[in-house]
Amino acid sequence: MLISLRNDHKEHLQLLTAQPEQVVADFCKLASDFLENGPTAKLFSTAASKLDVTVDVIENCIYGLINLLLIACKHQLSEADFRDSVLTLGFSENQETLLSKFYDTKKSLIHKINTKGLTGPHYHDLQWRFEVQLASRSMLQQVTPLITMDLALKTGSEISHQILQTDPTNLLHLANELEHALNQSRSRHSRKVQRALGNLQI
């Protein structure tokens, strides 16, 4: 079978079709690094300078390459089907050979990610209490109050409890880090990743 891509997805890959084999190989390395370590702005900027395009063009090209891999893995394309799909996108036979090698080396990783799913524990409930020693004759320094938390996590039908204890300073730091993570989830990069994953449902 041949996979069908959206027009914007095809446009993101057009940059690669006009490049020599070495550039295609370099983009496969960038995409591989992205899958293992996340985006690297410095590498994107360097690639943009070499090809005299904007960083956004490089990012979209890498997202397009990864999305091609994700869709191919979702449909479990054979080597022949992947080759035919790539050739219909305008890639040369030599470029296709590089992309097929990339697909072959990464499809097991993508398959594990897709089949694993979100089966881990998730938040169920949280109880906490504030603990402080009011007075002691042997206390020679100021007492730091502690917050003890009972975090209930649910996995399927089972509920487990994790007892955590920290001081207000660390708790504030944790809250700030969580807030930062939430802000990151609304960033342009996260939205692009969400759109790429959303395409897998089509």
pLDDT in tens, 182-196: 888 888 777 777 766
Q: What is the pLDDT of residue 184?
A: 83
Q: Report whether pLDDT(202) > 50.
A: no
pLDDT in tens, 160-183: 999 999 998 999 999 999 998 888
pLDDT in tens, 118-163: 567 888 899 999 887 665 666 666 677 899 999 999 887 889 999 9
Question: Could you please report the per-residue DSSP string of the chain?
Answer: ------HHHHHHHHHHHTS-HHHHHHHHHHHHHHHHH---HHHHHHHHHHHTS-HHHHHHHHHHHHHHHHHHHHTT--HHHHHHHHHHTT--HHHHHHHHHHHHHHHHHHHHHHHH-S-S-EEEEEEEEEE-----TT--SPPPPEEEEEEEEEETTEEEEEEEEE-HHHHHHHHHHHHHHHHHHTSHHHHHHHHHHHGGG-
Average pLDDT over residues 44-61: 91
Give the predicted TM-score (pTM) of the model: 0.57
Question: What mean pLDDT is reported for the chain?
Answer: 84
